[in-house]
Structure formats: structure tokens, C-alpha cells
Amino acid sequence: MSDVVLITGVSGQDGSYLAEYTAARGARVIGTTRDLGATPRLPGTLSTAIELVEWDLMDKHHFSTILDRYRPTKVYNFAAFSSGEHMDLNPEAVIEINGLAVIKMLDAIKLSGAPVRFCQASSSEVFAGTGISPQSEATPRVPRSVYGAAKILADNTIKLYREKYGLFCCSAFLFNHESPRRGEGFVTKKVVRAAVQIKAGRQKKISLGNLSAARDWGFAGDYVRAMALMLKAAVPTDYVVATGVAHTVANLCERAFGALSLNYRDYVEVNPAFFRPTEAAPIVGDASRVRQELGWEPTTSFVELVEMMVDAELRADRASD
Ligand code: F7E
């Protein structure tokens, strides 16, 4: 029997990569969206490959009818507030969407009695306050934002439903993962876009926060592949998904501007308004477990990732001329 994959947040970066990955392997792909009219056009051939369904994440009853109607074999949850800059704004909404909505989905799956496999896009933000580095599945979860706290609420409930009710559900602790489809609020896209605009003579400077902030940046396409492996595994298990290598924002600028033969030091200004409280320890993932148990490997290095983003930005810029 072929897979029926239901993806929440399908129009976002991760949802679109996973939809491509699973559709290419013969799955029927159902994507949920809050507002059909406001959903941006999906990239490439996806607009025809995905069946879009309107669903408000807070409506558990409607989710039950969607389960009943489409009978998905797998559910991937990417619907969430994800902006790093605004992790503490609107705390109630963040807890509802990133935490409570997951509980509603799990409970609807449990009540349906169907053998649906569920994978949650959790985050390295659950480790932000631990003071231990690198972080693995065994690292204590200590949030430093409402965003992290909401993800932990979801992760704990997933573990509970797995152990108490036998659901096949698991969390992927995704470290920062980027691509040409990344939203503009994130530092990789912000730097790459500015570098291309500066090269074209349309922008003079870019203002950034802490240039010494370090992140473990990987390619989003690799990370959704790890999640697909998690739902194919014999047993449901939570995994850290990361490259294990950290780079600073300064390294990112050096690579992005360097790819355009520019020296970032001539264009980057530091603006304290973009500073964030620093983590208790560097956020770098130890993904040994997913590598050993599921054979997952990232295919794209940091340098290749930045070059991929610069190339895509140049193409988009030329196409808009
Ligand atoms: O920041 C520093 C900033 O906003 C990365 C989400 O996917 O990953 C993402 O969250 C780093 C931070 O992502 C600027 O302080 C410096 O250290 O690209 P970002 P994020 O906050 O790490 C985690 C794992 C998630 O789960 C989230 O959903 O870059 N930084 N200067 C800056 N960041 C931004 N945005 N803008 C700056 O000007």
C-alpha cells in the first residue's frame, strides 16, 4: 500500500522539501494550510503534486475529520511559529500553536485508532539554557524562550503518548537548517540577500546583531530526509538532527560576500538592536545516534549551503529584473 503523507505547514521551507521528497517516492501528499486563499504558490511542480486542505490548528474535531477522510499513514508537523527573533512575542499564541496544537493532533490520532505515524519538528531551542555542549538526545531540556518551552511541552506529550498509548510518534530535534527557501527574518537569508543587493549596487550596508553568535547550520533538504527515515524505522525514537559543526555569523558573512568577491567587513554594521541573550553554551548538535541507527548523513556542507543560497538569490534577482 502506498503512503498517504499529511504535512502541516506545507508551504514553509521544510514542508515544501518534505512534500517533494515524499511525492517523488510515490506518496499521495496532503498539505494543510490555515487559509487557502492566503497560501503562497508552492515552488516547482509542488503546486500540482500536493492536495491542499484548509485547517485551523486549534480545531481538533476538524483534524479528526481530515484523518477520517484522507486516512494518512504518516503525519509530519511543521506548522509553528518559527521566527528566532520573536520567540517571546505573543507567548499564549506560541504555546497554543507550537505546543497545544500538537497535543490535539496526537489525541485525535489516538482516538481514531488508526496506525498513523507522527513526526514532530522540534528544535535545538529546547537545549538553549542547558550549559552543556554539544547537545544530544540525553541532554536536559532547558528552554530560554517561550518558543523552546512550547516545543518541550509538545516533546513531553509525544513521549507520553508513545509510552502510555503505544502511538508511533517521535520528535526530531532539528538544529538550524537553511536553504534558498528560508524566510527573510533568518540571518542566513538576510545576509545572502543583502550581499546580492550590495553586489548589484542597490544597497550599501547591512545591519546585523552579534557577529560572534555561533550556530550549527545544515541544509533543510537533508533534515527532512532524516525525519522521513524516522517514520520508516522499526521503532519510534527521538533524534537530534545536526551537522555537529558550528560557524559564527561572521563566518557566514565571509562566505556569502566572498562568493561574490566582496569583503564583508566593508559592508556589515553591528546594531545592538539585533542582539539576543546568548545561550548558556554553544548550540551544536551531536547527531551520532541518527547516523548510527538510521544511517543518516548530511550531504551539504556549510560552504556548499551558503553558495547554494547565493546562487539561488542571484538567479531570483536576475529573474525579477
Ligand atoms: O538566528 C544571530 C542570532 O534568526 C541565528 C529557527 O528555525 O533555528 C532558527 O532560529 C543566529 C542567532 O535563527 C542577526 O542571534 C545575528 O544566534 O537565523 P536566526 P534562530 O533564532 O537560531 C532554531 C533551531 C529554530 O528552531 C527556529 O525555529 O544569528 N544573528 N545577527 C541574527 N539573527 C537574525 N535573525 N538577524 C540578525 O540580524
Give the Å distance between the CA of 85 and the centre of ligand 1.
7
Ligand 1, atom 16, lies closest to the CA of 209
Q: Are residues 124 and 224 in the same domain?
A: yes
Give the Å distance between the CA of 281 and the centre of ligand 1.
15
Total domains in the chain come to: 2
pLDDT at 1: 64
Q: Could you tell me the pLDDT band of residue 55, with boundaries at 50, 70 and 90?
A: very high
Q: Are residues 87 and 20 in the same domain?
A: yes
pLDDT at 124: 97
Pocket of ligand 1 (CB under 6 A): 82, 84-85, 123-125, 175-176, 185-187, 190, 208-210, 213, 215, 249, 274, 276
Q: Are residues 135 and 254 in the same domain?
A: no
The closest-lying atom of ligand 1 relative to the alpha carbon of residue 82 is 28
Q: Are residues 221 and 211 in the same domain?
A: no
Give the Å distance between the CA of 18 and the centre of ligand 1.
22
Of the residues 123, 133, 145, 171, only one is catalytic, namely 123
Q: Could you tell me the pLDDT band of residue 38, with boundaries at 50, 70 and 90?
A: confident
Confirm whether 133 is a catalytic residue. no
Report the pLDDT averaged over residues 200-223. 97
Q: Are residues 152 and 37 in the same domain?
A: yes
Q: Are residues 191 and 104 in the same domain?
A: no
pLDDT at 36: 82
Q: Could you tell me the pLDDT band of residue 88, with boundaries at 50, 70 and 90?
A: confident
Q: Tens of pLDDT along 136-187?
A: 999 999 999 999 999 999 999 999 999 999 999 999 999 999 999 999 999 9
Nearest to 257 by CA among 183, 176, 313: 313
Residue 292 in any domain: the answer is no
Q: Are residues 23 and 71 in the same domain?
A: yes
The CB-side HSE value for 302 (13 A sphere, CA atoms) comes to 20
Cα–Cα distance measured from residue 125 to residue 123, given in angstroms and rounded to the nearest whole number: 5
Confirm whether 264 is a catalytic residue. no
Cα–Cα distance measured from residue 280 to residue 139, given in angstroms and rounded to the nearest whole number: 13
Q: Which amino acid is at 30?
A: I
The CATH number covering residue 200 comes to 3.90.25.10
Q: Are residues 191 and 171 in the same domain?
A: no
Q: Are residues 165 and 270 in the same domain?
A: no
Q: Could you tell me the pLDDT band of residue 255, with boundaries at 50, 70 and 90?
A: very high
Domain span at residue 230 reads 4-177+217-241
pLDDT at 49: 83
Q: Are residues 195 and 101 in the same domain?
A: no
pLDDT at 245: 97
Residue 293 in any domain: the answer is no
Of the residues 20, 125, 254, 279, only one is catalytic, namely 125
Q: Could you tell me the pLDDT band of residue 85, with boundaries at 50, 70 and 90?
A: low
pLDDT at 309: 98
Residue 83 has pLDDT above 90, yes or no: no
Q: Chain-wide mean pLDDT for the chain?
A: 94
Is the CB of residue 75 less than 8 Å from the CB of residue 141?
Answer: no
Which runs of consecutive H residues, i.e. helices, occur in the chain?
13-24, 46-49, 60-70, 91-95, 101-112, 146-165, 187-199, 220-232, 249-258, 288-294, 302-319
Give the Å distance between the CA of 47 and the centre of ligand 1.
29
The closest-lying atom of ligand 1 relative to the alpha carbon of residue 186 is 18
Q: Which amino acid is at 205?
A: K
Q: State which of 176, 210, 240 you would mutate to test the pocket of ligand 1, scoring each by most atoms of that ligand within 8 A of its C-beta.
A: 176
Q: Are residues 69 and 164 in the same domain?
A: yes
Report the pLDDT averaged over residues 21-37. 92
Ligand 1, atom 31, lies closest to the CA of 209
